[in-house]
Amino acid sequence: MRISVPTPMGFGTAPLGNMYRNIPTEEALDTVEAAWQQGIRYFDAAPMYGAGLAEIRLGQALAQHPRDAYALSTKVGRLILDEVEDTTQRDLGEKGGLFKYGLPNKIVYDYTADGTLRAIEASLKRLQTDRLDIVWIHDPARDFHGEAWREVFDVAMNGAAKALTRLREEGVIKAWGLGVNRVEPCEMALEQSDPDGFLIAGRYTLLDHADALRTLMPASAARGLGIVVGGPYNSGILAGGAHYEYQQATPDILARVEALRQVCSEYEVDIRAAALQFSLAHPAVAAVIPGASQPSRIAENLALAAAVIPAGFWQELRKRGLIAQDAPLPQGG
């Protein structure tokens, strides 16, 4: 697998950028340390998360640990400027207001080769490290760029992708791919370039996986690529929250989640355990990176991933059409 990380359970740092709420620095640092103490050795960040705040906090927390002991990924496609802006008015496509509690630094898009190198240099400083293992091209997709997304994607393929390919060939990074919330740009990247894998958020989950299963997952497995699953709880809706796709869940989504919960209740299965184990079951998946902003969540996630789930539960989900018939099931399912 070309995307290789030390642990199948990783740590997604979007919450450290004050996603949804203003998280005290000490709580953020304690959460990263809790992940470390529980054995997690893969951490993923992005400049967008709080306009650099998540990278700063992650770098501060990991500075006390040996760099060779963990894998680190971050993203390119956005630059953080010294200039400030109104955090409530940022253009985050369909994700408006997501990081309104983050730093006020202005965020601009730049998918060129030069912008990619500048983004990496800035991330290294914020992360207090000398190297990155994996670099994802962040969000060259419709949900952030609307009808112009294909033009943005072309810039990313001719700029960021080529720059990252050179860095990989030179041994500066180990791997690169796209970090997106949509399947289509990943499928296009497979045709136009040579990525090592993808970070797809919310698209290979218990609730939403049909599109990814159709082409992306089997193609990735066949080519030996690795998929990192972000947002296995679909922004919280599968973990007792009210958000789906970073916004308030619609009645249709709530009804689908309730149908899943009904089967979970019948089989006495925690829906969070089902969500994590479903995402991990596909052979193309290298890691799952649920986010966390409280130390206690780390141990909970690891326990949920290891919880025993009866085979009949998965078969019942298939019987009721709640998961795809060809979706790989966890061991024993």
**Active-site amino acid positions:** 44, 49, 75
d(CA 269, CA 46): 33
d(CA 16, CA 23): 7
Would you give the DSSP letter of residue 183?
S
Do 132 and 74 touch, CB atoms closer than 8 A?
A: yes
Beta bridge partners of 108: 79
Strands annotated E in the chain = 11-12, 42-44, 71-76, 78-84, 105-109, 134-138, 175-180, 197-201, 226-230, 243-244, 247-248, 285-289
Do 203 and 209 touch, CB atoms closer than 8 A?
A: yes
Residue 77, classed as helix, strand or coil, is coil
d(CA 204, CA 286): 12
Residue 161 structure tokens = 């992708």
Contacts with 160 (C-beta within 8 Å, 6 or more apart), sequence order: 76, 77, 111, 112, 113, 115, 116, 137
Residue 217, classed as helix, strand or coil, is helix
Task: Return the closest-CA partner of residue 271 out of 288, 283, 257.
Answer: 257
Phi then psi for residue 297, to 5 deg, are -65, -25
Do 101 and 18 touch, CB atoms closer than 8 A?
A: yes
Phi then psi for residue 135, to 5 deg, are -125, 125
Beta bridge partners of 73: 44, 134
